Amino acid sequence: MAGVSLQNVTKAYGADRPVISGVDLEIHDHEFMVLVGPSGCGKSTLLRMVAGLEEITSGSIRIGERVVNEVAPKDRDIAMVFQSYALYPHMTVRRNLEFGLKLRGIARAEIDRLVSEAGKVLGLHELLERRPKDLSGGQRQRVALGRALVRNPAVFLFDEPLSNLDAKLRVQMRGEIKKLQQRLQVTSIYVTHDQVEAMTMGNRIAVLNGGKLQQVGAPLELYERPQNLFVANFIGTPAMSLFKATVADSGGALAARSFKLPAPASAKGALLGRLGKQVVVGIRPENVLGKGRSPRGATAPLELTVDLVETLGDEVVVYGSQGEDRIAFKMDPHDPPPFGAKVQVLVELDRLHLFDAETELRITA
């Protein structure tokens, strides 16, 4: 097995603005790295460059100890699973699984062993003689996985493999892929635009936007300490509430448009130098406490007018506003406030995330 290393990798089509700009990323041996970002940010392009399906404009890519810039896809010791499954429609499942192995001249007995093993792992035994058209979407995706599995590659590359499945099957399959990877320990790069998939599957997550890496870290690290506004906004459902504020009172207060909050004690030093400047304040819904929730650490009260209530089952997410600023918080589902009600909440001050309004970079430690 092998790690994958991207050094200053850039991709440009013709004279256009680069689609990928100077990406440095180390994927460790055995690691499950998720590459996440909005549509068009360059995820597939980056993955296809690792696979060798797309040339790189500059930089270098290593798989294990070997620089693979000039190595053909078939010689990179990788297996890729696509969103479209890309199965051969005229071949049975068995022949789909065998095909790549035959091409590589592997002996019949070994092929049978590999197919049987993958069949067992993925529950494909009863399906081996069917054609792809006689399978459900989930079963097709399983065959596509099986085809990657039998190749026994050093690295798995996944490009949104679950996005054609319905919500329930997606959750089931993401658990299965994760378990499979934990058992086999094959280094994996998994592309998705779904941040929940990223959070639940990744050992680490790399967030990409506009062809540039925004932050790389463990799921909780990204959730608790987003390094810039993009990551703050992208990771977490419901999203972090964000509002602009001016630094006031010698760095001790944050004045939003229609309310004022004390600054977190830990940020006072950093804010002193920004007196009168604009910052963006972020707060996650679980850190704004409705009735009956007990706070940790210093809090400030805030009155909000309810303008939307979303029931999730175990709790409700309430969106309340004061003036033009909107803040989400969570409440017990049995006693949600009516639309238009005024509610008192407590903001956990040590949980505020502060960002520079100009650079959009994190200010709080």
Ligand X SMILES: Nc1ncnc2c1ncn2[C@@H]1O[C@H](COP(=O)(O)OP(=O)(O)OP(=O)(O)O)[C@@H](O)[C@H]1O
Q: What would the two tokens of residue 228 be?
A: 């810039």
Nearest approach in angstroms of CB 82 to ligand X is 11
Q: Which is nearer to Mg ion, 191 or 229 (CB)?
A: 191
Contact region with ligand X (CB under 6 A), list: 36-44, 116-124, 258-266, 307-315:
36-44
41 lines the binding site for ligand X (CB under 6 A): yes
CB of 44 to ligand X, least distance (A): 3
Token digits of residue 336? 């949600």
Mark the segment that binds Mg ion (CB under 5 A) among 40-48, 284-292, 321-329, 336-344: 40-48
Task: Please report whether residue 227 would count as binding Mg ion according to CB under 5 A.
Answer: no
Partner that binds at residue 45, options ligand X, Mg ion, none, CB closer than 5 to 8 Å by kind: ligand X
Report CA Rg, the chain.
25
Name residue, tokens 């505020």. 352
* Interface with Mg ion, residue 228, by CB under 5 A: no
Footprint of ligand X on 189-208 (CB under 6 A): 193
Residue 349: DSSP 8-state: G
Partner from Mg ion, ligand X, none contacting 320, C-beta within 5 to 8 A by type:
none
Residue range at the interface with ligand X (CB under 6 A); choices 41-49, 217-225, 230-238, 311-319: 41-49
| Separation of first and last alpha carbons in the chain | 37
Strand partners, 228: 361
3-state secondary structure of 192: strand
Token pair, residue 64, equals: 């294990």
- The nearest distance, CB 166 to Mg ion, in angstroms, is 20
Which residues 6+ apart lie within 8 Å of 80 measured at CB?
47, 51, 53, 148, 156, 157, 158, 159
- Cβ atoms < 10 Å from Cβ of 110: 10
Considering the complex, state which of residue 211 and residue 320 has its C-beta at the smaller distance from Mg ion: 211
> Applying CB under 5 A, which part among 4-12, 42-50, 68-76, 262-270 lies near Mg ion?
42-50
Half-sphere exposure of 15 (CA within 13 A, CB side): 0
Query: CB neighbours of 339 closer than 8 A, spacing ≥ 6?
Result: 306, 307, 308, 309
142 in Cβ contact with 119 (< 8 Å): no
Task: Residue count of the chain, please give it.
Answer: 365
Q: How many residues at the interface with ligand X, by CB under 6 A?
A: 11
Q: Does 42 bind ligand X (CB under 6 A)?
A: yes
The order of strands in the sheet holding 353-356 is 260-262, 253-255, 241-248, 278-283, 353-356
Q: Which of 2, 33, 45, 243 contacts ligand X by CB under 6 A? A: 45
Question: Which strand (E) or helix (H) includes residue 103?
Answer: helix 93-103
Give dist(CA 275, CA 353) in Å, integer. Answer: 17
| Closest approach of Mg ion to the CB of residue 15, in Å | 23
Nearest to ligand X of 44, 181 (CB atom): 44
Choose between 23 and 122: whose C-beta lies nearer to ligand X.
23
Q: Which is nearer to ligand X, 130 or 212 (CB)?
A: 212
Q: Which is nearer to Mg ion, 19 or 318 (CB)?
A: 19
Q: Residue 13's binding partner, choosing from ligand X, Mg ion, none, with beta-carbon cut-off 5 to 8 A by kind?
A: ligand X
Q: Which of 5, 44, 209, 215 binds Mg ion (CB under 5 A)?
A: 44
Residue pair 144/135 in contact (Cβ under 8 Å)? The answer is: no
Q: What is the DSSP letter of 239?
A: P
Q: Which residues from 16-35 bind ligand X, rule CB under 6 A?
A: 19
Closest CA to 79 of 159, 176, 185, 180: 159
Closer to Mg ion by CB, 101 or 213: give it.
213
Beta bridge partners of residue 361, listed in sequence order:
228
Q: Does 209 bind ligand X (CB under 6 A)?
A: no
Of ligand X, Mg ion, none, which one sits near residue 294, judging by CB under 5 to 8 A according to partner kind?
none
d(CA 253, CA 274): 11
Residue 43 binds ligand X (CB under 6 A): yes
The residues that touch ligand X, with contacts defined as CB under 6 A, are: 13, 19, 37, 39-45, 193
